[in-house]
């Protein structure tokens, strides 16, 4: 064996024995590289081996012990592929690890990979599983070879290596990117601009689109409104100013032999110099129409790589930054995905996964980066989307558990008192209003803080239910607050609640119900702050002003938030902090399917009001396309002529 390799093996064994403290050589491993590099060349080692070793060890000092372990692991496997006789070396024992670090030698993987009795086929159905595969002798999957870049990534062998990090050691995915072949400190710094710092970041850095070379559509077959990817040769490039020079348009004529397509980009004059006549590019976007001819406006584009054009495969397109090309980044992604994705441990049991018709996590990660087909890509996206929603639901359920673990004030609501309040109303409550009211009474008397979502369409009577909840709390001497997203809606609630809560003999005085919005005069704001602090004000209705500024309550016990989707978690938390373990109710008119509500509002108990009070007209929803705008205007005119009103609502959240 070459002296340079023997010396390197000695350093690696000593590093492993010392717990990867970078003291195997005085000054650290990087200090010996210059002399070792000269010795390795004198031994006649291949240049790619020398560069692989020096490239990984130059940044060794800045790595964590676990990342150093991964680095030496990669070097060892690189040498073993070149010199198979190194494979018989026995692992060197390392120092005992602290209890909070992952073990160096987890349980070994079984010789054969166990496959569930049923697996997910391309179309999402359950298919018969193949026979067990021998993990040592099985050939590499043909699909991986077909979709991989021309340069194959380094794959460690299965032999035990000092300091080996396996799929059972999650910290390995937290290794910095310089452990990858071809990624030095400079490239790692560039990748950091994309938010990529570790192997895990790379694995979950999904493509933002794909070029499907297996299903290319000729220009002559394009239709208006299609979202497609087209490949062709540039026939002409022109750039010219518009509107007196204040803007610029770049026009490209693309031809694929079947027809031509006009491409336009606005205010990107540098593209005129980027495009060259005769160059092949791929463009992705929506087909528009201009003066009767098809065109694409501001499409995504990239130069066509010759090797991709003839592979008939789906090519991932990643977000880039300066000094990084798609080809180079795809090579690094393939290096990470092909080695690390198969080693990911799936957190879903097979019984759950198969019942949901989902592929394994490692299969999904492989196919979201380098899909074998559109069917594989669809399944991969479904699995990853399932994981996102699953973990989101676990998070909100944990929040719910934390919220319910504290004690809330108990409000006993006498049946006679509640019946009298309902009798004071000029109408009879619907059964869904009664059910929601029963849920609230139960929450207030449970000893745990209420955390309830009140969902009902416009006109279903949510405000009445909220008003009765406020009356329950105010009757016990506590305070209640209702927060609305706009001043207009807050004023509307203030008027409705004022009439309702002051109507009965035992109701509140008008001075005990106040409105606080951004336009409230400062003198009145100060008066309201004092009333909330001394407890003379029992009910406050307002906007964000309720959680801004030095507003303190004497005994806030109930907070009601209208139109939950207009408020973030921070606003809800800020309102909660105004009281101690207060009861919270959220109202929304947005129709939410129960399955989605369990995820998005998993920390809330849900009451659905699906009935309209007597005399209310049913709500009809019509969806019109942009070209059907005139139909909407015609319907509005007919309604106004019949003496009815029309509201046109624009999606403006705040004045700007």
Tens of pLDDT along 580-631? 788 989 888 877 776 666 666 667 888 888 887 777 777 778 888 888 889 9
**Residue 162 pLDDT more than 50?**
no
CA distance 236 to 278: 8
Q: Residue 143 pLDDT more than 70?
A: no
Q: Which of 209, 427, 230 is closest to 326 using CA atoms?
A: 209
Q: Which residue carries 């192997």 as its tokens?
A: 199
Domain ranges of the chain: 3-88, 113-207+336-368+375-386, 215-311, 415-609
Strands 314-317 and 513-516, by their bridges, are unpaired
pLDDT of residue 348: 92
- Give the separation between CA 61 and CA 65, rounded to whole angstroms: 10
pLDDT at residue number 476: 92
Torsion angle (degrees, nearest 10) of CA 547, 551, 555, 557: -10
What are the Cα distances from residue 248, in Å, to 264, 295, 300? Answer: 10, 17, 18
Q: What is the pLDDT of residues 522-581, one digit of tens each?
A: 999 999 999 999 999 999 999 877 877 688 899 999 999 887 545 555 666 677 677 778
* Assigned token pair, 99: 């209890």
- Please name the fold of domain 415-609: Rossmann fold (3.40.50)
Is residue 514 a contact partner of residue 528, using CB atoms and an 8 Å limit?
yes
What is the dotted CATH code of the domain comprising 215-311?
2.40.50.140
Per residue in 208-262, pLDDT tens? 988 887 777 889 988 888 888 888 999 999 998 887 778 889 999 999 889 999 9
């Amino acid at each position: 064996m070459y002296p340079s390799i023997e010396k390197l093996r000695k350093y690696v064994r000593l590093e492993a024995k010392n717990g990867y403290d970078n003291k195997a050589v005085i000054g650290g491993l990087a200090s010996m590289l210059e002399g070792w590099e000269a010795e390795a060349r004198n031994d006649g080692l291949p240049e790619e081996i020398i560069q692989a070793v020096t490239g990984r060890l130059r940044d060794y000092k800045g790595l964590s012990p676990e990342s150093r372990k991964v680095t030496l692991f990669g070097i060892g496997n690189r040498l073993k592929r070149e010199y198979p006789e190194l494979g018989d070396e026995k692992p060197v024992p390392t120092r005992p690890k602290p209890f909070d670090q992952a073990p160096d030698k987890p349980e070994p993987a079984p010789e054969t990979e166990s496959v569930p009795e049923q697996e997910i086929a391309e179309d999402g159905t359950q298919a018969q599983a193949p026979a067990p595969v021998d993990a040592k002798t099985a050939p590499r999957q043909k699909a991986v070879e077909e979709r991989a870049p021309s340069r194959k990534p380094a794959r460690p062998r299965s032999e035990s290596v000092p300091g080996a990090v396996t799929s059972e050691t999650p910290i390995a995915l937290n290794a910095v990117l310089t452990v990858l072949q071809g990624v030095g400190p400079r490239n790692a710094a560039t990748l950091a601009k994309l938010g990529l710092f570790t192997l895990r970041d790379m694995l979950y850095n999904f493509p933002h689109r794909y070029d499907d070379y297996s299903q290319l559509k000729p220009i002559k077959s394009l239709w208006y409104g299609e979202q497609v990817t087209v490949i062709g040769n540039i026939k002409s490039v022109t750039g010219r100013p518009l509107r007196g020079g204040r803007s610029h348009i770049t026009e490209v004529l693309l031809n694929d032999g079947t027809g031509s397509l006009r491409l336009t980009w606005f205010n990107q004059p540098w593209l005129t110099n980027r495009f060259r006549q005769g160059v092949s590019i791929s463009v992705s976007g929506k087909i528009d129409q201009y003066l009767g001819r098809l065109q694409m406006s501001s499409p995504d584009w990239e130069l066509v790589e010759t090797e991709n054009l003839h592979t008939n495969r789906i090519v991932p397109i990643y977000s880039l930054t300066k000094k990084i090309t798609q080809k180079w980044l795809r090579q690094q992604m393939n290096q990470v995905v092909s080695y690390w994705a198969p080693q990911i441990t799936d957190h879903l049991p097979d019984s759950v996964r198969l019942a949901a018709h989902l592929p394994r996590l490692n299969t999904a990660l492989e196919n979201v980066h380098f899909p074998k087909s559109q069917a594989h890509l669809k399944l991969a996206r479904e699995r990853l989307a399932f994981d996102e929603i699953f973990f989101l639901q676990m998070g909100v359920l944990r929040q719910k558990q934390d919220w319910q673990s504290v004690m809330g004030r108990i409000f006993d609501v006498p049946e006679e008192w509640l019946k009298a309040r309902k009798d004071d109303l000029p109408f009879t409550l619907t059964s869904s209003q009664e059910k929601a009211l029963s849920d609230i009474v139960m929450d207030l008397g449970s000893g745990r803080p209420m955390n309830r979502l009140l969902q009902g369409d416009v006109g279903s009577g949510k405000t009445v239910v909220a008003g009765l909840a406020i009356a329950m709390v105010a009757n016990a001497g506590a305070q209640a607050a209702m927060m609305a997203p706009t001043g207009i809606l807050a004023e509307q609630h203030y008027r409705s609640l004022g009439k309702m809560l002051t109507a009965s003999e035992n109701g509140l005085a008008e001075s005990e119900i106040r409105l606080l919005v951004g336009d409230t005069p400062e003198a009145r704001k100060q008066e309201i702050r004092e009333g909330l602090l001394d407890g003379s004000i029992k009910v406050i209705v307002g906007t964000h002003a309720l959680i801004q500024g030095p507003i303190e309550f004497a005994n806030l016990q109930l907070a009601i938030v209208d139109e939950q989707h207009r408020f973030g978690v921070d606003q809800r938390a800020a309102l909660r902090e105004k009281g101690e373990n207060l009861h919270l109710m959220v109202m929304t008119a947005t129709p939410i399917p129960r399955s989605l509500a369990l995820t998005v509002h998993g920390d809330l108990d849900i009451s659905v009001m699906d009935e309209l009070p007597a005399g209310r007209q049913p709500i009809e929803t019509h969806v019109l396309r942009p070209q059907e705008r005139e139909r909407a205007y015609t319907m509005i005119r007919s309604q106004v002529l019949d003496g009815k009103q029309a509201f046109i609502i624009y999606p403006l959240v705040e004045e700007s």
